[in-house]
Structure 1
């Protein structure tokens, strides 16, 4: 029983970070109807920004943490303005957006390799590695911090979406972007805000993931897991993205604990295929047609 509880705690920790990544996918998908695969590159740069703000600039961790998120927030908006806005203005097919997103992701990864190098980098110790013991269960201080920070960020996002004027505009635009524009909503501003939010959470997720593991140019591949979580929960649904991420994190840790870590990724992608085959809209996603 203690082993199961230990795996559940570990799963909640990593699942909460998946949730921060997945909401970025879901926000963009709900408005623009395509999967933003450049999101992984933004997360990767978030991990690098956090590392260099701590080590090279020498900022205290809280300031470096916020600075990283703000930097990726701006970066995400720049990507939207440069890579996606021209396609929107030309009313390009959704396939063009996906190709542009993949190209942007590859560009970000390779520019880091060319300028910084492929060397793995490890964050300095910010939190003590001594775990908190609760009976036979140990909770890592970093794992606990990851869960608390992610939970606070997601709660603030829900409050913003449900209780602010811009949040209402995002909901309306997600429901029907053309009708929202006719009703006077500045849909271009809504898209900027959505990408800014996604970039902000990507920076937070990148720093947390970099602290948990290491920083390297291919770290953005972890967003494959958050994409699976978003599909599992239902693309376009923020609650679905969170629930799918938590479930995926728990499933992965239980698989690693009771079977082998070698099966963790296998189970994740089998889950993706099963969802796409048997319930394409996910657990909480809405029925859609012309989306890519």
Structure 2
């Protein structure tokens, strides 16, 4: 029983980071109705920013952490202005947005390979490797920090969405961009805010993910699991993205613990196919028009 609970705790830790990544996909999808595959590149850049701010510039963890999040937030805004805004103004088909997103992701990956190199980077040991022991359970300090930071970040996002005027405008725009514009909402500004929030959370997730594992240019592909979590929970639903991420994290750790770590990715993508076939809107998604 203790081994099972240990796997659940590990799953909650990685699932919380998946949730930070997944809400970025859901935020953009809820308003623009397409999957922002450039988000993985933004997460990758956040991991690199945090690494170099800590190792090269010798900044304290919290300061480097904050700057990495702000940096990826600005990067997400730049991507929106360069890759998506011209398409929105021309009312381009959603397929063009997906192609542009994939191009932006490939660009970010290759510019890192060309300037920094393809070698793996490892964060220095910031927190003590000595785990916290609770009876037969062992909780890593980094895992605990990941859960705490993820919970605070997600709680702040939910507060913004549910309790502020900006959040009301975001929810209205997600319901109908055209109707919101007619009611006086600056939808262009709202889209920029959504990309900024998604980029900020993506940068936070990138730093945590890099600290937990390693940093390399193809890390954006690994973060596709957060997209699977968003689809699992229901694209466009923030609670669905969080719940889907937690469930995916637990499923992965149980698979590694009781079957084999080699089957983690297999089961994750098999889950994606199963959800798309059985319930395309996900666990908490709402029935809407066909979206790209």
Q: Normalized against structure 2, the TM-score is what?
A: 0.99
Structure 1 residue aligned with 2:15: 15
Cα distance in 1 for partners of 2:63, 2:291 equals: 39
Whole-angstrom CA distance in 1 between matches of 2:281 and 2:9: 28
Secondary structure of residue in 2 paired with 1:217: coil
* 1:215-254 deviation digits (Å, cap 9, x = unpaired): 1101111221001000000000000000000000000000
Where does 1:56-67 land on structure 2 (aligned, <5 Å)?
A: 56-67=56-67
2:47 matched residue in structure 1: 47
TM value normalised by structure 1: 0.99
State which drifts further: 219-228 or 65-74. Answer: 219-228
User: Counterparts of 1:223 and 1:33 in 2: how far apart (Å)?
Assistant: 20
Shift of 1:290: 3.2
Displacement, 1:256?
0.5
Q: Which residue of 1 aligns with 2:260?
A: 260
Aligned to 1:177: 177
Cα distance in 2 for partners of 1:22, 1:32 equals: 16
Shift in Å, 1:258: 0.5
Determine if the alignment matches structure 1 residue 153 to structure 2 residue 158: no
What's the secondary structure of 2:133's corresponding residue?
strand
Give runs of ≥4 in structure 1 deviating > 3 Å: none
Q: Deviations over 1:27-62 (max 9, x none)?
A: 000000000000000000000000000011111100
* Rounded Cα–Cα distance in structure 1 between residues aligned with 2:267 and 2:117: 32
In the alignment, what sits opposite 2:114?
Answer: 114
* Backbone CA RMSD of aligned residues: 0.5
**1:187-209, Cα deviation, whole Å (9 max, x unpaired):** 00000000000000000000000
SS at match of 1:133: strand
- In 2: Cα distance, 1:225 partner to 1:289 partner: 25
Match of 2:194 in 1: 194
User: How far apart are 1:155 and its partner, in Å?
Assistant: 0.5
**Match of 2:219?**
219
In 2, Cα distance between the equivalents of 1:44 and 1:221?
9
Instruction: Kindly state the Cα deviation for residue 119 of structure 1 after the two structures are TM-superposed.
Output: 1.0
* Structure 2 residue 155 is the aligned partner of structure 1 residue 143: no
Q: Residue 118 of structure 1: SS of its match in structure 2?
A: coil
Give unpaired runs (5+ residues) of structure 1: none
Q: How does 1:241-256 map to 2 (within 5 A)?
A: 241-256=241-256
